[in-house]
Structure 1
Amino acid sequence: MKTKGHCLCKSVTWEFEGAITWQCYCHCDDCRRNCGAPVVAWLGVPLKHFSWTGNKPETFESSAGVYRHFCGNCGSPVGFEADHYEGGMHRYAASMENPSDFQPTFHVNYGSKLHWLGLADELEKHGSTLAHSDKDLSAYR
């Protein structure tokens, strides 16, 4: 299965082949501020099956070992990599060509959820990051 996506102006495009490793919502302050949204929808994919197919994005190191990718033309955030998620690429679900295919299974950083954000789901909720959860990240490699 091939999944594709792009930024707002379609200058930066991407694709990956195979299954999505995980799909979740993140409530951390960094992700919210990076996207200007109350929560961010992510999917994880192995880097070995991922490629930029259009212009390559610009990259901002938001903290030590954390890299946020964005389009240098329109400014859209298009991805996230971190040294502590070696072998993996976080993709914004909203950047998928078919974002309705996104099927989250859990929340991370739920302890940082904005009090006014109402969510009526029964998904698993982790108080901190994926790296500190019991999720198996071996599929990233």
Structure 2
Amino acid sequence: MLSGGCHCGEIRFEVPDQAAFSTVCHCHDCRRQSGAPMLAWAMVPKAAVLIQGKPKIYSSSESGQRSFCPTCGAGLFFSNGILDRMGMMQVRIAALDDPNSISPRVQVQTAERVGWVGSLHELPAFERFPS
């Protein structure tokens, strides 16, 4: 099992160490809800996820539900009708204690990708904030 949690530590969770599917999503809903240009998700069996604490649930679309910490606001989980019927849910990879433990396999919703994301690799990079 892999562990993770929110920024303040109020919500902790464990998920299987093997994701059924993992992706970077560029959709408008993920961007607007997170304030980030993209989100990395791991799809895992809902019944295998252990959650300590009580996340708040926000209905972000007709069938989509996003769960987050009510104290610090960190986004954690996503579900919708399709995932529910499959017995699955999505967990934000960056909320894992070791986000390198699951690597995204594909990018989805690239039609909605922010234009400059495709050229990030061309920008100067610094290991820490430059002085």
Q: Smaller-chain TM-score range?
A: 0.7 to 0.9
- Answer 1 or 2: higher relative contact order, Cα 8 Å, separation at least 6: 2
Higher helix share: 2
Q: TM-score, normalised by structure 1?
A: 0.79
Structure 1 unmatched runs, 5+: 122-141
Q: Which residue of 1 aligns with 2:5?
A: 6
Q: Which residue of 1 aligns with 2:81?
A: 83
Task: Describe the superposition over 1:36-95 as per-residue Cα deviations: whole angstroms up to 9, x where unpaired.
Answer: 11111111101121121x211000111112110000010111110111212111101110
Aligned length: 119
The 5-angstrom pairing of residues 1-141 of structure 1 reads 2-52=1-51, 54-86=52-84, 87-118=87-118
Task: Describe the superposition over 1:90-141 as per-residue Cα deviations: whole angstroms up to 9, x where unpaired.
Answer: 10111001012231110110111111112589xxxxxxxxxxxxxxxxxxxx
Provide the alpha-carbon RMSD of the alignment: 1.6
Alpha-carbon distance between aligned partners in 1 of 2:78 and 2:19, rounded to the nearest angstrom: 15
Percent identity of paired positions between Structure 1 and Structure 2: 30
Alpha-carbon distance between aligned partners in 2 of 1:55 and 1:21, rounded to the nearest angstrom: 25
Question: What is the CA distance between 1:17 and its match in structure 2?
Answer: 3.1
Of stretches 98-107 and 26-35 in structure 1, the one that deviates more from structure 2 is 98-107
- Runs (4+) off by over 3 Å: none
Q: TM-score, normalised by structure 2?
A: 0.85
Q: For residue 118 of structure 1, give the secondary structure of its aligned residue in structure 2.
A: helix
Alpha-carbon distance between aligned partners in 1 of 2:119 and 2:75, rounded to the nearest angstrom: 24
